[in-house]
Homo-oligomer: A and B are copies of this chain.
Amino acid sequence: MINETKRAPIGKYISQIYRKGNSFISKEISKFGIGSGQIMFLIELYKNDGISQEELSEILNIDKATTCRAIKKLEKEELLIKVKDENDKRAYKLYLTEKSKSIEDNIKNALNEWEKHISKELSQEEVNILINMLKKICKSKNIK
């Protein structure tokens, strides 16, 4: 057994890579009025234009308050519009705007650039192994 106190744990590396990614992506996208905290909401919206705020919160596994704050910021920057759901007056559907549609490529390029940076030091085989392990962790019931 490796001594847990002697080696830097997985969580620490994950956190370091996450923070560096955040800072890299922020630099690339801040010119569009998007903070790193909102990007994943926008990415999900590119996949599911017209999704409800509640569904978005569920899919991303992010609490309602945080989702609400991110949506408000994106709305303020005219990157999405909220439309009352005709079938459920308390619910909102979220739609991309011309502005957010026009920057879709820029956003995705920023994410792809970061992905390239991450995987530059790894062989394709290592990338595949890494993805499989990370997927295993994400799917684990222990971290739900």
Using a CB–CB distance below 8 Å, which chain A residues touch chain B? 1-2, 4, 7-11, 13-21, 24, 40, 61-62, 111-112, 114-115, 117-122, 124, 126-131, 133-138, 140, 142-144
Contact = CB atoms under 8 A, between A and B. Distances in A.
Nearest to A114: B11
27 contacts: A1-B124, A7-B131, A8-B131, A9-B115, A10-B127, A10-B130, A10-B131, A11-B111, A11-B114, A11-B118, A13-B131, A13-B134, A14-B134, A15-B21, A15-B40, A17-B138, A18-B18, A19-B61, A20-B61, A118-B143, A120-B140, A121-B136, A122-B137, A126-B133, A129-B129, A130-B130, A130-B133
Interface of A is mostly: helix
A87 B128 CA distance: 52
